[in-house]
Amino acid sequence: MAVRNENNLTVNQQKFADYYLANGCNATKAYRDTYPKASEDTAKVNGCKMLKKMYVHEYILKRQAEIQEKTQVTQEYCVMNLKEVVERCLQHKPVMEYNKMTGKYEPTRRIYF
């Protein structure tokens, strides 16, 4: 029987979950990082299976909550800030640049993305 840690995960399940959280929640990539010799098709299937395991799923949820608590970044925070950025980009006011010669702000002809 495999040795389990305090989260009731095996070493490889722990690695998978940590890689999953680190890479932006890509199960296939997390599986390939945990098992480098696995094929792409195997990683797709087994990455999905790994996420369905109760202790792995619980650990991921617990770590996500800890990260959210630590950073204070929630989905709502991200959406609100993204909305603000979009609204700024859609403003009808020109981008202004300081002209050292005149000492005034003037509209530029450059477009910033």
How many domains does one find in the chain? 1
What sign does the CA torsion over 50, 56, 61, 67 have?
negative
What pLDDT is attached to residue 15? 94
| Residue 97, phi then psi, degrees to nearest 5 | -135, 140
Q: Is 62 helix (H, G, I), strand (E, B) or coil?
A: helix
Q: Does some domain include residue 5?
A: no
Q: How confident is the model at residue 57 (pLDDT cuts 50, 70, 90)?
A: very high
Token pair recorded at residue 43: 């990683």
The CATH number covering residue 45 comes to: 1.10.10.1400
Domain that holds residue 16: 11-72
CA-to-CA separations, 21 to 26, 51, 70, in angstroms, rounded: 8, 12, 15
Alpha-carbon torsion angle 19, 24, 26, 31, nearest 10: -10
What pLDDT is attached to residue 48? 94
What average pLDDT score do residues 28-48 get? 95
Q: Does some domain include residue 30?
A: yes
pLDDT above 90 covers what percent of the chain? 52
Q: Does some domain include residue 25?
A: yes
Q: Does some domain include residue 23?
A: yes
Q: Does some domain include residue 109?
A: no
Q: Does some domain include residue 90?
A: no
What confidence tens digit (pLDDT) does each residue in 63-113 have? 999 988 888 888 888 899 999 888 877 777 677 888 899 999 888 776 655
What sign does the CA torsion over 76, 77, 80, 86 have?
negative
- What is the model's pTM? 0.65
Q: Does some domain include residue 83?
A: no
Q: Does some domain include residue 84?
A: no
What pLDDT is attached to residue 1? 67
